[in-house]
Structure formats: C-alpha cells, structure tokens
Amino acid sequence: MTYDPNGLESAPAWSQLKDKHDQIGEQHLREFFDQDSTRGKTHTADGAGIHLDYSKQRVDEETLDLLVQLAEQRGLAERRDEMFDGVHINVTEDRAVLHTALRRPSSDTLEVDGQNVIADVHEVLNKMGAFAERIRDESWTGHTGKPIRNVVNIGIGGSDLGPVMAFEALRHYTRRDMQFRFVSNVDGTDIYEATQDLDPEETLFIVSSKTFTTQETMNNAHSARTWLLEGIGGDEAGVAKHFVAVSTNAEAVEAFGIDTDNMFGFWDWVGGRYSMDSAIGLSTMIATGPAGFAEMLAGFNEMDEHFRTADLRDNLPVLMGLLAIWNRNFLGASTVAVLPYEQYLKRFPAYLQQLTMESNGKHVTLDGEHVTYETGPIYWGEPGTNGQHSFYQLIHQGTSLIPCDFIFFKQPLNKVPATDAPDHHDLLVANVLAQAAALAFGKTAEEVAAEGIAPEIVPHKVMEGNRPSNMLVADKLTPATLGALIALYEQSVFVQGVIWGIDSFDQWGVELGKVMAKKIIPVLTDGAEDDSLDSSTLTLAKLYRS
Ligand code: F6P
C-alpha cells in the first residue's frame, strides 16, 4: 500500500468517525459507565510494564473500531515498519528515522545503506560505558589530578531536555556524591548559576550538540571554557581533561579544541528530540552507571517491540495516538495536560513539550499541501498534586476541553517517616484517582443542591464532568519503566503524525527565528542600521541600547 499523506479526509473511517461524533460526541462519561459496568476493566491495555486505563475517554466500542480502521486505512502498520527498517520517512531532510535502533540489542543487525547500524550503536555505547566508568571510579582525573565530582551538560532542546529529565527522573539511582547540572539558556545566568559554586579542577563539561553549531550551546561552551581556564591556571592543555563532546559534527568539535578521542558520536538518523538514549545521554550514563543506562534502553526496546508486534487494538502507543486524534480532531481539544503523580517526573512535561510539539506542530502534509484539519495539540503539565492547587480549576470548570494523561506508580521510591497522618503514597494515589474520577463524572446541580447549598451558589459548584483522561500505571519508576514511558509517547506521536500525513521528524519552524536573531545581533551590539527590520523591532533595539 502506498502511503498517501493527503488522503486523511478521503479515508472512509474519517467520515464514519464524523458521523460517530454527531451521534456520541456529547454523550457523557456517566452514560458510558452506566451502559457498561465493566468498562473500567475492559477499556485497558498493557505493554512493556505499563498499564493504560482509557475507560475515561469518550469513546464506545464502535468509535474504537473506527479509529483502528482509520489507522489501517492510513497504512499505519506499513509506515511503522518502514520507520523500523530505516526508510527515509523524514522526507524534507531525506533521512531515515532510526532512534529505535539506539535501543536494540547487540545481537540484532540492521543494514542501512550497507552499514550495520546496530554495531555502530553498540560501539558508541561501549565507548560511553568505558568513559562513564572511568569518571565513576575516579581513574579519569582533571588537569590537576583531582577526580571529577561535577558534570555539567551544555546543550539545548533535545540535547538538554532529555538529559535533564532523565537525571531528575532517575535521581534515586544516581551517584549522590556527584553534582549533575544542565546549562541550556543563552541567558548568562544559566551558566553563571550552574558553575559559581563548583571547583573547576573537579568539573567535567559535556558539550552536547548534534550539529555543534547551535548558538546558545556554543556561547555557553565558550564561556565554560574561559571559566575553566581561569580556574586551572590558564593551561590550554587542561581543556582535554575537562571537556568532552557529544555530536555528529567531528570537524566542529575539533575546531572548538576538544580532542575527538573524547567525542561520542551519533548519526543524522537520530532526531534531536529522539536522542536522549543516544550518546546525548552520556550524563545519564555517568549518573546511573552503564547498567542503569542499559536497563533504560531495554525498557525503550520493550515498548518498541510491543508497538511493532501487538495487535492495533491492544497496542498502547496506537491506542494513545488514536485517542489523541479523537480528542483533537473530533472533540476539538487543543491542548493535553500531562500530570505525573511522581515528583521525580517533574521535568517530564517539559520534555514532552519538545517531543510532541516540535514533532507534530506542522501545517502542511509530507507533500506540502496545507492541511484542512487540526494537527498537534499543545502539551503542558506539572506534577501532581501541585497542579491541583493551581490550574486544575480550569480543567474542572473552565470552558476548554483539556484531556489529561495521569501517570502514577504503585510503589514509592522513598520511605518517609511514618506518622498518624495518612501514608504519603496512599494520599498521592488517592488524589490522582480522585482527580480523574471528578473530571469524568463531575457533580450535577441536583447533587450540589442536595447538600443544602444556597440556590444562587449551586451553579458555581456544579462540575460538568465529561473531561476525558488516560491513566498510566506502572509498578515503580525504574530506568526500564522510564524508557518504556518515553518510547510510548514517541510512538504515540508517530501514530498521530502518520494519521495526519505530516513529517513528525523535521523542525523547519524553528529556523526563521534563529536567522532573525543573527541579523539583530549587530543592531544591538554595534548599533548597525538594518532597514530590512520592522519599526517595532528597531525601536525595541534602540530602547535596549539606550
Ligand atoms: O532549535 C531546534 C533544535 O534544532 C532541536 O530540534 C534540537 O534538539 C536543538 O535545536 C539542539 O540542536 P543541537 O543538538 O544541534 O545543538
């Protein structure tokens, strides 16, 4: 079957779903549950250690059947296999999309353009492992002979968000006698605060940049270099002991002065936002050890295998992707809240923002045709229960429909002193279950009035409900669960992109702003005249200079 990126609206299931929406679009979740008392048990799926309860999504059996038919009519399975096989599905950059190869076992082979990429991946993993061990066992020392105590990753976007998220998520499993910091913003405060209390003699910088040309990263790397040299007495030879690079651009790494022996490579078939399990994860590997990293890769791979082999109807990324299509294109939801009830996942929503929005924030199909339907929604979120005391009000009673992805783990990672108050983890889980139920079922005016509430106050206390959500549950946050969770979202983003017919793997939208910034720099620094700039920008630039 040849993939037709423009064929969404002519897929029979698409019009059938529209009819379906006319029929059940407004049906309340209360009714769905009244009609089927087993819904909470049956509308679930499991894969790679993750349990998905989608019973609180506004779909009936027929809707699910039609969504699966839509996936079939859009050639999802074929497209998925093409991705796993290394076909150049990133058409605008003419690249394969092979982040799944990063987590395959060394016993596998995958030939791409005559090269076994799995062997290449494991060569880099072994090099990373040897280096991480040297840092961890202190056989790698800084220029003055001191062991490394501080690791500072310098990168931005995919070269930052994955590493920082993974460090926070896996903090429980990391070396507590070491500091791990992450510098991304070109705002000088970021590098200043990350370094001001560190000893340069004990500090290693990992300059992470796929291209090694990204302005923020290069600026920060140069500042770090100067900071280091000032701290170790100015000897340039010291740079090699305190700087390593993760990049696909060996020439630029060398030009910066980093020994390419201390460069960890990856390939153009790994997109920035899909790269945290490549060498970009070097800081994660140093923090958790090579075994922790390997466990994370195994979790990724398990979810990939589930995605590749499970029936579409029982397939977690497929279900999540298709439900997202239903919510976006039929129920009209323009945002999705990701709400992990796990403090260690505090950076997970930020990580997902790039993964989802840089991937599916596209307005043309692969053929360049302007789409006539909505594509990627806005993803955002905060860990529970904090969000409950800030923005949940709008999710419960606002006028926008905001589907939620709740995440929780059965076991906590940390013991806290027991008191007479409820157990922390019981309370945490009670809250996540309560929120999902309250959003789904709400509270009617009759129920509110029955509590003796004054009639004029009743409307304020009504909770309409019918707010859909997914509940993702796993036993415990481990490196493997984290890998599986990330792969789940990666593949769900892929499913949505295939349905919409867009290129989920390019990011041309970020280019114009970068080019404009380059143009504006001389106007700010030298007061250069540039008539091509608009009057607002020029006036603001003058204001800045004054
Ligand atoms: O600006 C967007 C982007 O290209 C992202 O896709 C990427 O993750 C980030 O910049 C960083 O790029 P690099 O790793 O090449 O520095």
Dihedral angle computed from the Cα positions of residues 141, 146, 147 and 152, in that order, rounded to the nearest 10 degrees: -90
Burial class, 108, CB count within 10 angstroms (exposed 0-12 / middle 13-18 / buried 19+):
middle
159 Cα–ligand 1 center, Å: 7
Task: For residue range 51-89, list pLDDT tens digits in order.
Answer: 999 999 999 999 999 999 999 999 999 999 999 999 999
Asked whether the predicted pLDDT for residue 95 surpasses 90, the reply is yes
Give residue 216 CA to ligand 1 midpoint distance, Å.
10
Atom of ligand 1 nearest to the CA of 275: 8
Residue nearest ligand 1's atom 1 by CA: 510
Ligand 1 atom closest to the Cα of residue 217 is 16
Residue whose tokens read 């100067």: 226
Confidence label for 452 from pLDDT (cuts 50, 70 and 90): very high
Q: At 339, give phi and psi (nearest 5°).
A: -125, 85
DSSP structure class, residue 179: E
Name the residue with the closest Cα to ligand 1, atom 8.
Answer: 158
Nearest protein Cα to ligand 1, atom 6? 272
Report the Cα 491 to chain-centroid distance in Å.
Answer: 11
3-state secondary structure 201-251: HHEEEEEECCCCCCHHHHHHHHHHHHHHHHHCCCCHHHHHHHEEEEECCHH
Token pair 């039609």 is at which residue? 66
Q: Give distance in angstroms: CA of 139 to centre of ligand 1.
A: 33
d(CA 390, CA 416): 25
**Closest by Cα among 124, 133, 89 to 106:** 124
User: What pLDDT shows up at residue 74?
Assistant: 98
Which residues make beta-bridge pairs with 46?
A: 51
Average pLDDT, the chain: 97
In which band, very low, low, confident or very high, does the pLDDT at 2 lie, cut at 50, 70 and 90?
A: confident
Closest residue to atom 10 of ligand 1, CA basis: 157
Report, as an integer, the average pLDDT of 114-143.
Answer: 97
Task: List b or e across 196-222, with b for residues whose CB sees 16 or more CB atoms inside 10 angstroms.
Answer: eebebbbbbbbbbbbebebebbbebbe
Ligand 1 atom nearest the C-alpha of 161 is: 8
Q: Best mutation site among 280, 507, 514 for ligand 1, i.e. most ligand atoms within 8 A of its Cβ?
A: 507
Q: For residue 1, is pLDDT > 80?
A: no
Report residue 381's pLDDT band, with 50, 70 and 90 as the boundaries. very high
Compute the average pLDDT of residues 504-522: 95
Q: What is the pLDDT of residue 114?
A: 86
Residues with a CB atom less than 6 Å from ligand 1: 156-159, 209-211, 214, 217, 272-273, 358, 507, 510
C-alpha of residue 267 to centroid of ligand 1, in Å:
14
250 Cα: distance to centroid of ligand 1 (angstroms):
17
**Ligand 1, closest atom to CA 272?**
8
Average pLDDT over residues 380-399: 97
* Residue 510 Cα: closest atom of ligand 1: 1
Question: Nearest residue CA, atom 3 of ligand 1?
Answer: 157
Torsion sign over Cα 5, 6, 8, 12: negative
Phi-psi category of residue 94: left, alpha or beta, with phi > 0 → left and psi -120 to 50 → alpha: left
Cβ contact 337:380 at 8 Å: yes
For the cut 90, the answer to whether the pLDDT of residue 113 exceeds it is no
The predicted-structure confidence for 270-302, as pLDDT tens digits, reads as follows 999 999 999 999 999 999 999 999 999 999 999
- Distance in angstroms (rounded) separating the CA atoms of residues 523 and 259: 36
Contact 358, 315 (CB under 8 A): no
Q: How far is the CA of 270 from the centre of ligand 1 (A)?
A: 11
Mutate to test the pocket of ligand 1, among 256, 510, 511 (most ligand atoms within 8 A of CB): 510
At 203, the pLDDT band (50, 70, 90 cuts) reads: very high
DSSP string, 343-356: GGGTTHHHHHHIII
Instruction: Provide the pLDDT confidence category of residue 415 given band limits of 50, 70 and 90.
Output: very high
Q: Which residues, including other chains, have CB under 8 Å from residue 493's CB and lie 6 or more apart?
A: 321, 355, 356, 359, 360, 504
Residue type at 252?
A
Active site residues: 358, 389, 514
Looking from the CA of residue 507, the nearest atom of ligand 1 is 6
Q: How far apart are CA 172 and CA 344, in angstroms?
A: 8
- Digit-coded pLDDT (tens) for 331-343: 999 999 999 999 9
Q: Which pair of structure tokens corresponds to residue 151?
A: 């690791």
Q: What is the DSSP letter of 387?
A: G
Kindly indicate the confidence band of residue 518, based on its pLDDT and cuts at 50, 70 and 90.
Answer: very high
Q: CA 540, CA 532: separation in Å to the nearest integer?
A: 15
Residue 478: how many other CB atoms lie within 10 Å: 22
Query: Residue 141 Cα, ligand 1 centroid: separation in angstroms?
Result: 30
Structural contact between residues 285 and 204, judged by C-beta atoms closer than 8 angstroms: no
Q: How far apart are CA 165 and CA 152, in angstroms?
A: 14
| CB environment 123-155: b (16+ within 10 A), e (fewer) | ebbebbbebbeebbeeebebbeeebbbbbbbbb
Mutate to test the pocket of ligand 1, among 211, 267, 514 (most ligand atoms within 8 A of CB): 211
Quick one: average pLDDT of 160-186? 98
**Nearest residue by C-alpha to atom 9 in ligand 1:** 157
